Amino acid sequence: MNETSSKNRSRRDFLKDSGRIATTSAIMAAAGPRLYAAADDTIRVALIGCGGRGSGAAGDAMSVKEGPVKLVAMADVFESRLKSSYGNLKKRHGDQVEVPRERRFIGFDGYKTAMDCLRPGDVAIFATPPAFRWVHFTYAVKKGLNVFMEKPVTVDGPTSRRMFKLGKEAGAKNLKVGVGLMSRHSRDLQQLHQRIQDGGIGDIILQRGYRMHDAIGSFASPPKPPRISELLYQVQRFHSFIWASGGNFSDFYIHIIDHLCWMKNDWPVKAQALGGRHYREISDGVPSVDQNFDTYAVEYTYADGSTFIMDGRCMKGCANIYASYAHGSKGVAIVSKRSDCGRPSSIHRGQNPDKANMIWQSEVRPDERNPYQNEWNDLISAIRHDKPYNETEYGVKGSLVTSLGRMAAHTGQVITYEQILNSDHEMAPGLDKLTMDSPAPLQADADGRYPIPRPGLTKEREY
């Protein structure tokens, strides 16, 4: 059989399969997600956003030991990224990756066709830039799909309000929703959280979080090259653009912000902050045109008056500090010893968290030490056993509180939680209507530079 005939037959087979899937989906939708799980033990997954984090999430999904999981569809706006992701996942997971060319979709509407390959009760992974979460989540809830979405899940007030509503709709449909705030699935941090709730360090009066290191990811970006559209350039280098990701503040700092709020069992009610842009060259005179500050110092305040300080920095040659602490009236805890949730967690006498003062340290079985895998084990278990599981609310609140600190730094104002929640500044409206030919939400000036925050000058919005 020649190659053309083979391709035509594959497409015919796919269309037949799609018809059968569509018919089955209609029947299963009426019965609800739980009937699907009983009818077919394989959970199918669609990956929307095939970068490093999306590929990692898909790999973790297929590594769950509780029942079969298969990747059956993929979507991205960059064909090269999808191709690379497919090749790497296929190499690692073999027959668990069943994504023929007909189920690899390119374009801003690819999320729909990828999710159309699933049945109610299957799982859609959202790992595109955060600005698109509400667009993709809307379609998943409509289709009756379980969801795993990467953090952050919002970047501004209007989309946060939208996501809160979608989370309630998902809950009403008994859909399971996981959010990639993996610190909450760290067994070490779970042990510490329980001890803090039991009074292990007394009342929390101060928290400290630090993420300070060299520039990483697309924190800094050179002027757009001519070979790519403005829209695709901003999507490709999303860390550089506040509308797409919340900038490096939201994308980099959310884990520490979220897990310290979790330890407190509360969310800050306001924030004041400092921030600045210092060395704004990438190298050898090439300017960086991103919107980020390279230093941030945020002071969050809880309703009880206690304080949470979050310091961030992306600069070469400076001291690297990447950890988090909770100070209580009876002692201090090292929440994350290193990175976003680096084990072990520990509790110490007094306020000096050194080894001599340590009175407790977390201990976890080797097979439960990977929080990225834990979050997938927990989600799949909830699906298979029909247990309540919806992380949307704290995912949105964690994203919104992170944006609260960012907005305080970018405006130079004291910003309250209610103020940012009820803000009317949607940074990128109409993302559900984007095509490959659409203009970008942000436009560069004649020198290829983008608007930057101006604290004290632009006070009501970030740029």
Q: What is the pLDDT of residue 447?
A: 86
What are the pLDDT digits (tens) for 73-94? 999 999 999 999 999 999 999 9
DSSP states of 43-101: EEEEEE--SHHHHHHHHHHHT--SS-EEEEEEEES-HHHHHHHHHHHHHHHGGGB---G
pLDDT in tens, 331-373: 999 999 999 999 999 999 999 999 999 999 999 999 999 999 9
* 3-state secondary structure string across 263-283: HHCCCCCEEEEEEECCCCEEE
Give the residue from 40, 118, 35, 138 showing the smallest Cα distance to 75: 118
- Contact between 455 and 409 (Cβ < 8 Å): yes
Which is higher by pLDDT, 289 or 32?
A: 289
* pLDDT digits 0-9 by tens, 101-111: 999 999 999 99
Domain ranges of the chain: 3-182+384-389, 184-383+396-433
Q: What is the separation of C-alpha 206 from the centre of its chain, rounded to a whole number of angstroms?
A: 26
- Which pLDDT value is given to residue 191? 98
Task: Count CA atoms within 13 Å of residue 405 on its CB side.
Answer: 35
* Residues 31-73 pLDDT 10s: 444 434 445 799 999 999 999 999 999 999 999 999 999 999 9
pLDDT at 37: 43
The pLDDT mean for the chain works out to 92
Residue 393, number of CB atoms within 10 A of its CB = 15
Pick the CATH number of 3-182+384-389 from 3.30.160.20, 3.30.1360.120, 3.40.50.720, 1.10.510.10: 3.40.50.720
- Residue 278: how many CB atoms within 10 A of its CB? 10
The total of other beta-carbon atoms located within 10 Å of residue 13's CB is 12
Q: Which CATH superfamily is 184-383+396-433 part of?
A: Dihydrodipicolinate Reductase; domain 2 (3.30.360.10)
Distance between CA atoms of residues 363 and 367, nearest Å: 12
Q: Identify whether the C-beta of residue 294 lies closer than 8 Å to the C-beta of residue 239.
A: no
Q: Whole-angstrom Cα distance, residue 363 to residue 342?
A: 12
What letter does residue 414 receive in the DSSP assignment?
Answer: -
Of the candidates 292, 296, 321, the residue with the CA atom closest to the CA atom of residue 214: 321
Stretch 127-145: mean pLDDT: 98
- Under the banding of pLDDT at 50, 70 and 90, the label for residue 283 is confident
Q: How far apart are CA 363 and CA 343, in angstroms?
A: 9
Mean pLDDT calculated for residue range 217-230: 95
Q: What is the DSSP secondary structure assignment for residue 430, as one 8-state letter?
A: T
Q: What is the mean pLDDT of residues 203-219?
A: 96
Provide CB contacts within 8 A for 243, sequence distance 6+.
131, 155, 234, 427, 428, 441, 442
For residue 186, give the nearest of 323, 343, 396, 338 by alpha carbon: 343
Given a cut of 60, is residue 26 above it in pLDDT?
no
Residue 27 has pLDDT above 70, yes or no: no
DSSP element (H, E) containing 160: helix 157-172
The token pair that represents 348 in the structure block? 């110490």
Average pLDDT over residues 275-297: 91
Q: Check whether the bond before 388 is cis (ω within 30° of 0).
A: no
pTM greater than 0.85 = yes
Answer with the residue of higher pLDDT: 6 or 421.
Answer: 421
- pLDDT above 80 (res 14): no
Q: In the predicted model, is pLDDT for residue 204 greater than 90?
A: yes
Determine the pLDDT at residue 279: 82
The whole-angstrom separation of Cα 253 and Cα 300 is 13
Estimate the crossing angle of helix 157-172 against helix 133-143, to 10 degrees: 20
> Distance between CA 229 and CA 437 in Å, rounded?
8
The reported pLDDT for the residue numbered 23 is 41
Percent residues over pLDDT 70 in the chain = 92
In angstroms and rounded to an integer, the radius of gyration of the C-alpha atoms of the chain is 23
